[in-house]
Chains A and B, each alone.
Chain A
Amino acid sequence: MTLGLAKYQHLAVSFLGRGALRYERLRQEAKLKRKGSWKSERFAPPLSTSPRLKELISLHYLKGRTADERGPVAWVTSGAPVEFLVALGYYVLYPENHGAVCGIRRVSEKISVHAEDAGYSRDLCSYARTDIGAALSGETPVGRLPRPDLLVACTNICQTVLLWYQVLAAHFRVPLVIIDTPFLYGEATERDIDFVRKQIEEAVAVAERVAGRSLSESRLMQVTRRSKEATELWLKVMETGKAKPAPITAFDEFIHMAPIVEMRGEQFTVDYYRAMLQELEARVRQGSGAVLRERKRLIWDNLPIWPRVRWLSEKLADRGVSLVASTYTNAWGELADLVDPEHPLESAAKVYLHPILNRGTGHKLATMEKMVRDYQADGVILHSDRSCKPYSIGQMDQRERLGTAAGVPALLLEADHNDPRSFSEEQAASRLAAFFEVLEA
């Protein structure tokens, strides 16, 4: 594509696309304001910020369609340090997030089949299969994914990304930066932090070279400040779930977490969560819960079952069960304190070593136990996620400890985060029914 055409497309996307999305948001907001427009026996009306969320996400992918014609593009893992990329002007795409979008729209299976046809085993992570399938076929529900100039994989969520991104690197023939965060069986040591800091510095150098520009320290500090602010707000948003009834469920958070994951460091993300927090606080004051007639409160562990989020949320709400928190969404808030905008790179080393997925199985149990106390939960659902080993190994012991030592009923639910073929609705429904009986006994 010539530069002129690219610019023209960009203008079209910016003005026409933006305009259409803005119009759609205003229409939805107006609809939400009309009294009596919401008819549900299970749930409170959506937050008035919901249409804005939709606009943000759509806009993000809309920009993505032509991003590779305009500037540098990086594909990154969900736990990777992103602030320096944002500060360098990269358009940042999160294949995991795109995978979730495919899951929610129920096209993940169809897209994964392209990868499976090419020989990628069904035992591989279903996000990876969705992403590789999309890369191989060009198929996506968001129009088009921009081609990466740089790949950044951080091992703080799994080793899977290390291998997955090698596949992408060979496919796209672009540089891959691996940020290796030693797994913390216990506490982080100086050598861990030092090792990660050096790697982030090296990553910055590669990203500068690929982008053809150098990192401005003040810009990095600004982005980090916004990132920290948004993370703190996100944490507060989730903490409103401590109120009884909870004004927000983890199911809502699964959707509302998109900006904190993929638009960290942007001012509009900060503004978005500030508005959301205000609304939730108002709901707490009014005593209105996200699930009407909240009777029981549960904690969720592991990734969502994206293709079945809605089914599961309705199944729970039917019984007056509210999912008040999750270890998964919590992961993007709990480290806010560690971020130091005055020392962005140094603090990043610490922050990116400490996600729950980079810490031991005992730490995850302790986190769940604390959440049960803080959120006054009645039980825990541990999603045993067939294609996510690092999140799932340890759950059998965690469930056992929750049940016996802490007296908290806990259910191990077999499924998969993005592959509907590894999920049996009948089996899940009967397990949930039995679990509800335990909760109510």
Chain B
Amino acid sequence: MSDAASIRALGIDAGSTTMKMVGVDAEGALVWHALEEMDPRIEAQAERLLDVVRADGCPDSLPLIATGYGRRLITRADRKVTEITCHARGVHRELGHGGTLIDIGGQDSKVIVVSEEGKVVNFSMNDKCAAGTGRFLEVVSGRLRMPMDAFADTALAADGEVGISSTCTVFAESEMISLLAHGAPVERIVRGLHRSLVQRVSALARGAGLRPPVMLSGGVARSRAIRTLLAETLRQEIVLPRHPQLMGAYGAALLALGA
């Protein structure tokens, strides 16, 4: 990217499945980004991304803030800030308003209520269980041997839905197998599984004191099926930022800029 020269601050989001780096210019516009699968050597990966941005022409020794699951390991960062604050800041700047941000990540899901000024009003996170996270979809799609994209399309194409009563990942998996054994159509089961995740996340959102509009970030936001069902369940339109996966890193960069 050629805009790297205009970068004035950087943000790194070391998530559980991917690492994101974002550069912003003096006005806080997102001018550069990179996204990679997570490398278990987090610090080395961060260094490598820094090398890449410098090679693109980014000035040296810019302010840097780290966020995400692996933020503590990034010693180069000037500060470490939670995903909660960063996501709120990033998405508020991107969309220009407050609301309820739902971030369904690989490891955990968060709901952040953001004020009109971009401040965190309240937040909630899923409990230890994997049921309300992207991991749930990974487990069940893996079990059905379906790639994630096809998984979402299958759900949307279904002409009906089979209710999955268990919200526990393990229970839901056994319920799914039993439904298949009883001849229930796969598409309907897949839609039911999506619904199950959406219901869990919706409960989290209502618990945090939902205020519209609902904004979505994180990797799972790319799933059309999740977006559609979430809109249906919450009876709210879903607003999506341009780069849902980058909002944490973007917020970190904005904080680093002091914007």
Hey, which bits of chain A sit against chain B, CB under 8 A?
A: 109, 113, 116-119, 420-427
> Which residues of B in the span 167-224 have a Cβ within 8 Å of any Cβ on A?
167-168, 171, 174-175, 177-178, 203, 206-207
User: Does A116 lie within 8 Å of B174, measured CB to CB?
Assistant: no
A416 → B minimal CB distance (Å): 12
User: B166 in the interface, Cβ–Cβ < 8 Å?
Assistant: yes
**A-B contacts besides A109-B165, A421-B167, A423-B166, 5 pairs, CB < 8 Å:** A113-B203, A118-B207, A421-B165, A422-B168, A424-B168
User: Does B203 lie within 8 Å of A424, measured CB to CB?
Assistant: no
The interface residues of chain A lying within 8 Å CB-to-CB of B167 are: 421
B113 → A minimal CB distance (Å): 13
Cα separation A114 to B104 with both chains bound (whole Å): 22
The interface residues of chain A lying within 8 Å CB-to-CB of B166 are: 421, 423-424
The interface residues of chain B lying within 8 Å CB-to-CB of A116 are: 203, 207
The interface residues of chain B lying within 8 Å CB-to-CB of A423 are: 165-166
User: Does B171 lie within 8 Å of A117, measured CB to CB?
Assistant: no
A145 → B minimal CB distance (Å): 22
Whether A426 contacts B175 in the complex (CB less than 8 A), given A420-B165, A421-B166, comes out as yes
Cα separation A426 to B207 with both chains bound (whole Å): 30
The interface residues of chain B lying within 8 Å CB-to-CB of A420 are: 165
User: Does A425 lie within 8 Å of B206, measured CB to CB?
Assistant: no
Select which of B168, B174, B203, B206 is within 8 A of A426 by beta carbon: B174
Cα separation A427 to B174 with both chains bound (whole Å): 8
B 134-167 binary contact with A (CB < 8 Å = 1; else 0): 0000000000000000000000000000000111
B195 → A minimal CB distance (Å): 13
User: Does B174 lie within 8 Å of A117, measured CB to CB?
Assistant: no
User: Does B206 lie within 8 Å of A117, measured CB to CB?
Assistant: yes
* Residue ID in chain A nearest B199 by CB atoms: A113
B166 → A minimal CB distance (Å): 6
Cα separation A426 to B166 with both chains bound (whole Å): 11
The interface residues of chain B lying within 8 Å CB-to-CB of A119 are: 207
User: Does A424 lie within 8 Å of B206, measured CB to CB?
Assistant: no
Cα separation A117 to B175 with both chains bound (whole Å): 25
User: Does A424 lie within 8 Å of B174, measured CB to CB?
Assistant: yes
* Residue ID in chain A nearest B171 by CB atoms: A424
The interface residues of chain B lying within 8 Å CB-to-CB of A117 are: 203, 206-207
